């Protein structure tokens, strides 16, 4: 009887903690509205800014979930997004064809992701190591693309009509539904969760670590390509600093969304979306509160770090032991 009570208590705690990211997002949204009313902001412009900032991050983060599920992470995601946007922008400037631009963004991002995963497989290196190297390579490639004609930026004209919030929301919704289907209803998702939970046991059952690592990177590559396409449309002018904060923001967003940093069976696609919107709303709140405060950027970073550590702690206490599952 006592054992059953302990199990029920643990199950209740697990359910409550699993809802924490959603509750946090709702509370942040309410706080944003309250502060906005006090400050007298333009809510239409404010919500448009949040959506514009969040959707691209959510798309790239959603694809990255497949990598994080394996217990690894890709530090080159920001550089890949930039290269994808640069290549797509150059192709559009040369052809004026939006579809060809989209295909170029996807092709470049998939190629970069495939190289990262294959290098790790060939040389039996941790994925993190290969992505560090790829980040340097992709940064150099993007610089060459940007400065190829003697300038320091790539200007893209004629895409103003595509700068539409609903287009971004539709792209996010379609990609998220595709990822949910693969992740929750196919053997790809089940086996990747198994690999993230215990790679040794998964390997002994015949699951190929290399095969599913490649699949994970290809799914991430699709997200990067879509993110690069929307980045090029939104930015209009691409510089070396475009998409510069995406890499670290993805890691923070996924943790904010309640996904354990060790990956495994508790990984969820929705963590990327919830986390992306949460950190962007938090950034907007801090911007309003710290607008006239000296050193506002530093304070904002410290607050975000505190929230990040808090979410890691909440995720970690959701386990029966003090060790994260591997």
Residue 219 makes CB contacts below 8 A (sequence gap 6+) with 63, 66, 179, 182
Q: How far apart, in whole angstroms, are the C-alpha atoms of residue 259 and residue 208?
A: 24
Instruction: Please give the torsion angle defined by the CA atoms of residues 281, 54, 271 and 77, in that order, rounded to the nearest 10 degrees.
Output: -130
pTM comes to 0.87
pLDDT of residue 324: 45
Domains and CATH numbers, the chain: 16-28+49-316 (1.10.3470)
pLDDT of residue 4: 56
Q: At what angle do helices 209-235 and 98-123 cross, to 10 degrees?
A: 150
pLDDT of residue 320: 47
The token pair at 228 is 């690069």
pLDDT of residue 17: 65
Q: At what angle do helices 2-39 and 270-289 cross, to 10 degrees?
A: 40
Helix/strand/coil for 238: strand
Walking along the chain (326 residues) 10 residues at a time, the average pLDDT comes out as: 55 68 88 88 86 91 90 84 92 91 94 85 74 86 82 80 85 94 89 83 80 89 93 85 78 83 80 90 85 73 76 62 47
Paired residues of 237 in beta bridges? 155
Q: How far apart, in whole angstroms, are the C-alpha atoms of residue 279 and residue 56?
A: 13
Paired residues of 238 in beta bridges? 154
Phi, psi of 148 (to 5 degrees): -60, -30
pLDDT of residue 196: 82
């Amino acid at each position: 009887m006592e054992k059953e009570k302990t199990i029920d208590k643990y199950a209740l705690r697990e359910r409550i903690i699993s809802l924490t990211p959603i509750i946090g997002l709702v509370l942040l949204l309410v706080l944003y509205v309250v502060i906005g009313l006090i400050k007298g902001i333009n809510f239409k412009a404010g919500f448009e800014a949040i959506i514009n900032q969040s959707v691209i991050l959510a798309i790239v983060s959603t694809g990255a979930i497949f990598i994080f599920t394996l217990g690894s992470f890709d530090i080159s995601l920001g550089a890949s997004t930039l290269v994808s946007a640069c290549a797509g922008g150059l192709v559009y400037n040369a052809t004026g064809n939006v579809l060809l631009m989209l295909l170029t963004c996807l092709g470049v991002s998939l190629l970069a992701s495939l190289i990262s995963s294959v290098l790790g497989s060939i040389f039996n290196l941790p994925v993190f190591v290969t992505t560090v190297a790829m980040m340097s390579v992709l940064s150099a490639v993007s610089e060459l693309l940007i400065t190829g004609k003697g300038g320091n930026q790539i200007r893209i004209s004629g895409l103003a009509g595509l700068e539409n919030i609903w287009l971004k929301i539709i792209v996010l919704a379609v990609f998220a539904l595709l990822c949910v289907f693969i992740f929750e209803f196919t053997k790809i998702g089940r086996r990747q969760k198994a690999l993230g939970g215990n790679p040794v046991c998964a390997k002994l059952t015949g699951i190929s670590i290399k095969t599913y690592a490649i699949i994970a990177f290809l799914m991430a590559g699709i997200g990067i390509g879509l993110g690069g396409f929307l980045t090029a449309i939104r930015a209009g002018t691409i510089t070396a600093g475009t998409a510069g904060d995406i890499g670290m923001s993805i890691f923070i967003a996924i943790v904010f969304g309640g996904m354990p940093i060790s990956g495994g069976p508790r990984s969820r696609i929705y963590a990327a979306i919830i986390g992306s919107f949460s950190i962007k709303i938090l950034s907007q709140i801090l911007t309003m509160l710290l607008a006239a405060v000296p050193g506002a950027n530093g304070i904002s970073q410290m607050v975000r770090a505190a929230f990040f550590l808090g979410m890691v702690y909440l995720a970690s206490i959701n386990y029966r032991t003090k060790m994260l599952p591997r």
